[in-house]
Structures are given as C-alpha cells and as structure tokens.
Amino acid sequence: MKKLILFFTLLAFGNILHAQTWEPMESLPGGAADARHHPITFSFDGFGYLLAGAVNGDEANDFMRYEASTDTWESLPNFPGAARSFSYGTSRGSKAYVGFGGADGVPFKDLWEYDTETEEWTELADCPCVPRYHPAFIQLDDKIYIGLGNNPSNLQDWWEYDITTDSWTEKEDLPGPARHHPYYFGIDGIAYVGLGHGNSIGGNLSVFTDFYKYDPSTEEWTQLNDFPGEGRVAGTQFDYNGKGYVLSGDGDDHSFMEEGEFWEYETQSDEWTQLTSHPGSSRWAPGNFIIDNYVYFMCGLSDMQLESDMMRFELQPLATSTDEITAASINVYPNPAKSFININTDILQFSEIRLMNSQSQLVQTIRSKQVTLDDMPSGMYFLQFIKDEVIYTEKIMVIN
C-alpha cells in the first residue's frame, strides 16, 4: 500500500513572467572531451541526467548526473546497453525510459528503464516495429508513444508501449508526411508532434512546419495550426506547466539559424509565442532537462563547434500575490494519508487544478471541485490551483 504524506504549505503566486536572460552553468565535466550531439537527457528530484550521444564522432554509453543545488556533475556507471546516438529518453517520476537510435550505421529498437532511486537499469521488450534513428518519444502516464524517425527512409508509423504490461501495440499512422527528427511533447494525456525533416522533393529539402496531436482515448490524430516560424528540425523540446516548448535546431535549409530560437505552445488556444533565444547560433541536436522552474540546455553542434557547455533559462518566476487565501479555502486530506488523497475546493472556484511532478511536468489536469487521487508513484508532487492569473500551490510527497 502506498503512503502519502502531505506537507500542508499553501503558497499564493501572482502573474507569470518570463525571464529575459540565459545564465551560464557548469559545463560537462570533461570539457571539450565530453562535447557531443544527441545526448539523452532526463531529470528527477533536483538532478539532471545525461548519457550517450555522439562524442567527437563516436557513439558513447557514458552516464553522468548533474546536481542543481551545487551546480556540479558526477560520473555514474556506464549505461549497460549498446553505445548509441540519435536516441531519446523520457521520465515521469522516479523512473526514466531510454531507447532506439543506433551506432555504426545499425539502428536499434530496444527500450530500457532506469530507476533513479535504486540506480539500476532494466532491459524491456523490444518494439516489434522497424528499428530507427531519432523518432518521436513521448510518455503519457503509464504509456510511451514511439513513432516516425528513419531507417534509412523516413517513417510515419506510431506505436504504444504499455509500461505496466511491457507490451507494444501499433496505432494509426501520423496523417502527415513521413519524417525524422521531429519536435514533440506530451501534455494532459495528449501527444503533440510535428516539424522535422521529410523526404526531399525534386532535389529540394522538405523541412516542415506542420503540427499534430494524438489523443490516446480516441486513437485519433488532429492537425493543428502550423508552426509560425520557419521550418525546423533537430532541436530539443519539453513540456512544462501545461505548455509545450520548441528550442533551437536547424532551420528550413537544414543549417544553423542566426539565433537559437525558443518557442512556447499553448494547447488550449493552439497558439505559439516566441521567447528569448539562447546565446549564439542555433544548435543541431542539443539536449535539455527541467529542474524546478528552469530549463537547462546543453551540448549540440553550433556554427562554431561541437559543444559541451550548459546554460539555463527561468521559465516561470512567480511574484507573491496580495490576494488573501486561507488554508480552509482548499481542503486536501487526510493528513497524513494512506493510499489516497482527497481534494475539495468548495469555497474558492478554480478554473483549473494541475498535478505537477518534481520536474514541473504536467501529470494530470483536474477540472472538478472534488476529486480523489490514488495509486500515485513515489516522489514529490505539486498541486497548482489556478484562479484568474493567480496560482496557489501545495506540495505533496508520496512515499511507497
């Protein structure tokens, strides 16, 4: 039985503002010797993780961890799978999933689970699909969605992996053109994917701006508004606080852009907003992870060199609101709890309630005034109560 301990600390926050500067952080520990493109990245509980990628032209299986509180890196035992590049990873809670990509011209279709608490790797069932380089790789709750990529031609198939049963199921293909190295993220149970590199037509490159969403509950695809910037491929992406983000990459000529453009996607309005570009040119195949309300951005190939540096950007600085609220306004109980927790918001009317994990990734959107949450994986969570432009936050710790 899971045990939930609620820390009843209620915070009221004001309007969301975006920071306007990028801050340099500690580079990878080996400096230029660790420079790489296509690193696999994820985060959990104040730590960022980075492994594999192409290190100065050779596929790697090294593994390292970054501690945000001290701005330091440490080496971990090597990833036990094959060295690789053009691969991806994802995490929701204390476990991360890594797979696909390839090495020495051989693509993979494997999948691995990493437990950040036990620091152990487990090899999972191979995908019955075609092995591939740089696919979309999206986790939604206890499902992972893999699709697109290339081997060697571009693909548009779509597969669902069930974490609880260690099994794969083929789903409906992406309705748009086949492509590799797309941008993607998962928000509120919906997968979003698009952009990327398609097949050349008449000798001309096809770098896309189209964008789609996949709803697992209906197994249907919907085409969304096109991305408003130039077509792009081979950047990095993430979701945070219910919004999606596209960061850096190559432009529509599959070469560097003058700036490392940064865009935010709002799912409800289907609109994009450009944020502050990272310093220097754009980068091909960088990585990122989220810790607290910062995105940490690292590595990739710039117009100058293969990079090993890291910088961060504050996504959501929050100013304290003068609005009054008392603990009685939000009733979250029992305290401590055993296997479930009730949320009652009878007094204040909230437009939305969000359950976020410790990496500030959206786990679930709650639209009812009364709800019970149960069977939550261990870890730290935050309940965000949205009212007008104010966010009220409570911290929850789940201990198995």
What's the pLDDT tens digit per position in 262-274? 999 999 999 999 9
Same structural domain for residues 270 and 300?
A: yes
Q: Are residues 370 and 297 in the same domain?
A: no
Say if residue 92 is in the same domain as residue 165. yes
- Predicted confidence band of residue 338 (pLDDT cuts 50, 70, 90): low
Specify the range with the lowest mean pLDDT, choosing from 80-84, 246-250, 349-353: 349-353
Closest CA to 209 of 237, 176, 239, 173: 176
Q: Are residues 257 and 330 in the same domain?
A: no
The model's pLDDT over 90-147, given as tens digits with 9 standing for 90+, comes to: 988 889 999 999 999 999 999 999 999 999 999 999 999 999 999 999 999 899 999 9
Tokens of 338: 């055993």
| Residue 349, domain extent | 3-11+319-399
Is 245 in the same domain as 142?
yes
Q: Based on the domain organization, do 230 and 283 belong to the same domain?
A: yes
Instruction: Identify the band that residue 198 occupies on the pLDDT scale cut at 50, 70 and 90.
Output: very high
42 and 80 co-located in one domain: yes
What confidence score (pLDDT) does residue 392 get? 72
What is the model's pLDDT at position 335? Answer: 52
Distance (Å, whole) CA 247 – CA 261:
6
Do 302 and 160 share a structural domain?
yes
Which CATH number is 199's domain given? Answer: 2.120.10.80
Boundary (domain end) residue, out of 260, 293, 316: 316
What confidence score (pLDDT) does residue 396 get? 74
pLDDT at 174 over 80: yes
Beta strands in 141-242 (DSSP E): 143-147, 158-162, 167-171, 183-187, 190-194, 197-201, 204-207, 211-215, 220-223, 236-240
Is 94 found in the same domain as 230?
Answer: yes
Q: Are 299 and 393 in a shared domain?
A: no
> What's the domain count of the chain?
2
Query: Which of residues 300, 316, 332 is at a domain's end?
Result: 316
Per-residue pLDDT at 321 exceeds 60: no
Q: Which of 316, 331, 347 finishes a domain? A: 316
Q: For the chain, what percent of residues have pLDDT higher than 70?
A: 85
- Are 306 and 339 in a shared domain? no
C-alpha–C-alpha distance, residues 35 and 299, integer Å: 6
pLDDT of residue 205: 87
